[in-house]
Structure 1
Amino acid sequence: MIKVVIADDHPFIREGIKKVVNGKMDLEIIGEAENGDELLAMLEEKTPDILVLDITMPGQSGLELMKHLNDLYPKLPVLVLSIHSEERFAIRALKAGAYGYLTKTSISDELIKAIRKITRENRKYITPEVAEQLASQVDVSKEGALHEELSDREFEVLCMIASGNDVNEIADELSLSPQTIHTYRRRIKEKMNISSNVEMTRYAMENNLIE
């Protein structure tokens, strides 16, 4: 029996995953969490075979949490299930230690297929879309794209600003203070030599970072 833990702050997403997973004889959901703190507390008591993790959660982001989990539970494979397209976060998730990256449109047989491959074969699950992103990394210049210089949280804020969210909306979504978001925005501008939100949006559009 493959034991699964879900970490996602959206109840309807967790219900969707449970509905798909619980219909399989060889899979069992043994726990669910809606944020990083709940997940870490749960893992002290339960030992899953795989963690299905949302990449955007309140407080500590999924990418930050994954790096922490790699230190605490290096043998626990993590499958990222995100609302964001592969262009935005897949490569960062894999670099952070994820065994696979699926979008939330894949809460179906694709999810089951990924869970089984990762746990039974101890191999990463790479979709054609993620493979395309990996290939594009090979083609970029040595200097790389400007957004590659950003931290995971800075990149997340960049994408949210470029998508039209204001500072207060981003702060609420990420459970951070508006002042913290202002700090991230300032760092983004400095690192990317960008002077305005309009320039951020233009850059994000040119680099397929807006969905």
Structure 2
Amino acid sequence: MVTIVIADDHPIVRKGLKSLFETEKDFSVVAEANDGFEAVNVAQRFNPNVVVLDLILGDINGIEVARELSKNLPRTGIVIYSMLASDHYVMESFKAGARGYVSKDSSSEELIRAIREVAAGKRYLSARLSEQPSLGEMITTNSPDFYRRLTAREREVFQLSAQGLTCAEIARRLNISRRTAEAHRANMMRKLGFSRPAALYNFAFQHEIQADTAPVKPGTAKKNRKKSGQQV
């Protein structure tokens, strides 16, 4: 059984979603929320498999709710269901911990499919959004093969870039100059075929590279390379 919490500030939307989900025999709506604070409270109370979350909730926005839920309920999948379809909102939602994003003008079948995918531990981006150049620009070849093209330093820059760090922040984290960080990032994006940062974020999100990579400690990589005689 897939347990669901619906968080939307429009009663008619919540009612419609509940009616839709009740047509699925293995879906169970355990609670509804009218605003962000209530969404956090009921999710923590019922610990659902999935929270279907709007971005505009009146008090705190859905991105902040997603960030709070992903921190306190890491096993609960978050599907953003919103009219806001710009790449900014999509990428910020993913960075906050959402696993799925569906535009409100998508079909009901697609929303149900997104919930099933997220409940199964997968990620989902609706077809309409994936067609946007900034979101749909992805590598379709097997990710490990492409990832192995990068040097060890470029992989570190990739990971930190996927976390949203700027070149200046990456330079401080890795104890290298900003110019060196910019060069590593440019080389990494060229090797992977990316023309813009949003494509990098989407690639990392789709292949869960960021989640599978251990955090880089300040200066650690540089010290290790010096010990092994490798050039930084």
Structures share a fold, TM > 0.5?
A: yes
Gaps of 5+ in 2: 139-193, 199-232
Higher relative contact order, structure no. (Cα contacts within 8 Å, ≥ 6 residues apart): 1
Q: Deviations over 1:3-49 (max 9, x none)?
A: 11000001111111112111111111110001122122212321211
Q: CA deviation at 1:81?
A: 0.1
Distance 1:71-1:20 versus aligned 2 partners, 3 A rule: same
> Residue in 1 aligned with 2:27?
27
Gaps of 5+ in 1: 143-211
Q: Deviations over 1:68-103 (max 9, x none)?
A: 112111111100000112445112211211111111
Does structure 1 conserve the Cα–Cα contact (< 8 Å) formed by 2:85 and 2:129?
no
> Residue in 1 aligned with 2:135?
134
Distance 1:14-1:141 versus aligned 2 partners, 3 A rule: closer
How many corresponding residue pairs?
142
Cα distance in 1, alignment partners of residues 107 and 34 from structure 2: 17
| Structure 1 position 18 matched with structure 2 position 74 | no
Does structure 1 conserve the Cα–Cα contact (< 8 Å) formed by 2:51 and 2:76?
yes
Alignment TM-score, normalising by the size of structure 1: 0.61
Q: Deviations over 1:122-148 (max 9, x none)?
A: 110123333343345942279xxxxxx
Instruction: Kindly report which structure 2 residues correspond to 1:179-190, keeping only aligned pairs within 5 A, or say none.
Output: none
Q: CA deviation at 1:2?
A: 0.6
Cα distance in 2, alignment partners of residues 141 and 69 from structure 1: 26
Alignment TM-score, normalising by the size of structure 2: 0.56
Q: Give the letter for the 1:64 counterpart.
A: E
Q: CA deviation at 1:66?
A: 1.1
Q: Deviations over 1:164-204 (max 9, x none)?
A: xxxxxxxxxxxxxxxxxxxxxxxxxxxxxxxxxxxxxxxxx
Q: Give the letter for the 1:134 counterpart.
A: L
Distance 1:141-1:109 versus aligned 2 partners, 3 A rule: closer
Backbone CA RMSD of aligned residues: 2.2
Cα distance in 2, alignment partners of residues 135 and 43 from structure 1: 31
> Residue in 1 aligned with 2:6?
6
Cα distance in 2, alignment partners of residues 114 and 73 from structure 1: 19
